[in-house]
Structures are given as C-alpha cells and as structure tokens.
Amino acid sequence: MEKFKKNLLAKMFIASMAVVLLNAVYWGLSANSGYESEFTKGFGGGLCFAMIFYAAFSAFRLYMVCIDEKKLEQLYIRSTDERYALIREKTASGSFVASAYIVCFGTVVSSFFSKEITIALACVVAVMTVCKLCFKFYYDRKY
Amino acid sequence: MKTKIQQLRKERKISQEELANAVGVTRQTITSLECEKYTASLVLAYKIAQYFGMTIEEVFDFSEVSCND
C-alpha cells in the first residue's frame, strides 16, 4: 500500500507540473506569437484550459485520496483488480492516455500557427476518444 | 468457466461486496465470475476457495475450460 501511495504522489506531482507547463506554454506563446485566426484562438484556448482544469482536478482528486485511508483502499482495489487490469490492457488504456495528452498538447501549440493542423489534430483526438470509448464499452460487456 | 460462487455465497449469506472486499477485487469482478463472463486467475481462484474453506476444484469447474480462456 505504501508503494501505491508513493505512486499516487508521483502522479499528483506530474499533474501539478502539467498545470504549470500548460500555463507557461499558453501564456508564453500568446504573448510572443499570437493566434493564426480567431477560430484557432477560441479552439486552442478552450482545449488548453480544459487540459489545465483536468490536470488540476486530477491532482486535487489524488490528494484527497492520499489523505483518506478508505478512499485509498478503494482505489488500490480498483487499480489492482485483475478484471479491470485486463480491460485496461485490451483497450491499451495507458498508451491512449499518453497519446491523447501529446496530441492535445500539439493541438494547443499548433493553434498559434496553423488552422489546418489544429483542425486535423482535433479530429484525431475526437476519433481516438470515440474509438477508446467503443472498445471500453465492448470489453466491459464482454468480461 | 462455471463456478459455485453464487451458490456458496447464498448458503453463507454473504454479499458480493463482502466477498469482493475479502479477496481484494471489485464487486463487478465477482458479478462477472458468477455470470461466467470472466475466468479468474489462479491467484484469485485460490483466494476465493480459501475464503470459503474449500479447494479450487470444489469452487470452480475446469471441465469446460480451454487453453484460450
């Protein structure tokens, strides 16, 4: 359980760093380059703030879990549950999350330079998310 | 894989939640095992059998299990 708690604290640290990094990238690029168009301004900004909010919420949720033993135990059971582990493996959950973060980050950065790339990357994120949800639903029903 | 988990649970008046907590899995996993949707690992099968004070063979029916399961 101690190792699991340390793992959660590491995730909380990464989420907090993500908040700082996203803010730095967004405000840094806003000040130095400006947007390609009004469309990408709203799109990139919205996506960036959604990511910041999600990362901040994740960090807060992990903190709440770390200080509450009962919640920590529940999360530990859910994380080590073999059926969930199998579903996560089948849906390639880990690689999806990493890819989604990278593509979202790319979308935010590209919104300062190119409307076409922003739209293309946003579509990639949307398709990835829909596929992931479909696979998750399928394997949830199967097992 | 066929199991006697539901039958044993009802005989002993144990809820899915209690069994799940005792063996360290979620309630949904116990439901899937009872519905024969999911095949338990050896470790989980051992824990469940131990919880009921029985052997693995007494709780789980391996006669219809193939290597692909």
Would you list the DSSP string of B5-61? Answer: HHHHHHHTT--HHHHHHHHTS-HHHHHHHHTT-SPPPHHHHHHHHHHHTS-HHHHEE
> Which residues, including other chains, have CB under 8 Å from residue A95's CB and lie 6 or more apart?
none
Of A128, A105, A131, nearest in space to A117 by CA: A105
> What is the number of CB-based contacts under 8 A between chain A and chain B?
30
What pLDDT is recorded for position B52?
93
Nearest CA in chain A to B39: A143
SS3 B3: strand
Mark which residues 12-41 of B lie under 8 Å from A by CB: 20-21, 24-26, 28-29, 32, 37-38, 40-41
- Contact: B26, A84; criterion CB under 8 Å: yes
pLDDT in tens, chain B (69 residues): 788 999 999 999 999 999 999 999 999 999 999 998 888 999 999 999 999 999 999 998 877 766 655
What pLDDT is recorded for position B46?
94
| A112 against B8, higher pLDDT | B8
Q: Give the range among A29-33, A61-65, A136-140 with minimum mean pLDDT.
A: A29-33
What pLDDT is recorded for position A45?
83
Of B68, B67, B50, B28, nearest in space to B59 by CA: B50
pLDDT at A32 over 90: no
- The mean pLDDT of A61-72, rounded to a whole number, is 89
pLDDT at A1 over 90: no
What pLDDT is recorded for position B55?
92
Q: Highest-confidence range of A27-41, A97-111, B55-69, by mean pLDDT?
A: A97-111
- The mean pLDDT of A68-89, rounded to a whole number, is 90
Q: List CB contacts (< 8 A) between B43 and chain A.
A: 82
Which tokens go with B47?
């824990």
What pLDDT is recorded for position A103?
92
Which tokens go with A142?
């199967």
pLDDT at A36 over 80: no
Burial class (CB in 10 A: 0-12, 13-18, 19+), A132: middle
Q: List CB contacts (< 8 A) between B21 and chain A.
A: 77
Residue A104, number of CB atoms within 10 A of its CB? 21
Nearest CA in chain A to B22: A77
What pLDDT is recorded for position B53?
93
> Which residues, including other chains, have CB under 8 Å from residue A7's CB and lie 6 or more apart?
none
Q: Cβ distance A137 to A84 under 8 Å? A: no
How far A77 CA sits from the closest chain B CA (Å)? 6
- The mean pLDDT of A83-91, rounded to a whole number, is 90
SS3 A44: helix
